[in-house]
Amino acid sequence: MTLVWEQVVVATRDPVALGRWWSSALRWVIVNDDPTEFEIRSTPDRLPGILFLPIDETKQAKNRLHIDLRPDDQSAEVARLIELGASRVDVGQGDVAWVVLADPEGNEFCVLGPEASTDVTGP
């Protein structure tokens, strides 16, 4: 039995605008530019993707799920994302090594610092 992670779904007021923003932010390609199902992927044939679907509501609270990004150069990447339209946000993180940003619709995501080790272990 196989299980494949297909995509993350983001409900948004403007699927095309937010999808294009994330495409630029992640340097991913657009695989479907339909305004009711806008999808991006790292490459056209690679999963998972991010699917943006329309919703009439605006974001009301802190995200229950968010994306963590780990760039080679945290400061440069934060500056680039802010130039694209992200904003710094305070979700109560305090003094930490990562930077919390929000996309143009207010969805939080983190830009992590340099990885301390390439040995990743879980619980």
Proportion of the chain above pLDDT 70, given as a percent: 93
Same domain, residue pair 120 and 76 = yes
Q: Give the pLDDT confidence score for residue 121 in this predicted structure.
A: 41
Q: Give the pLDDT confidence score for residue 106 in this predicted structure.
A: 94
Containing structural domain, residue 1: 1-57
Same domain, residue pair 53 and 76 = no
Please tell me which residue, 74 or 60, carries the higher pLDDT value: 74
Q: Give the pLDDT confidence score for residue 117 in this predicted structure.
A: 47
CA dist 97 to 47, 59, 70, 77, 94, Å?
Answer: 29, 26, 11, 14, 10
Same domain, residue pair 50 and 99 = no
Asked whether the predicted pLDDT for residue 24 surpasses 60, the reply is yes
Cα separation of 19 and 22, whole Å?
5
Q: Give the pLDDT confidence score for residue 123 in this predicted structure.
A: 39
CATH number, residue 21: 3.30.720.120
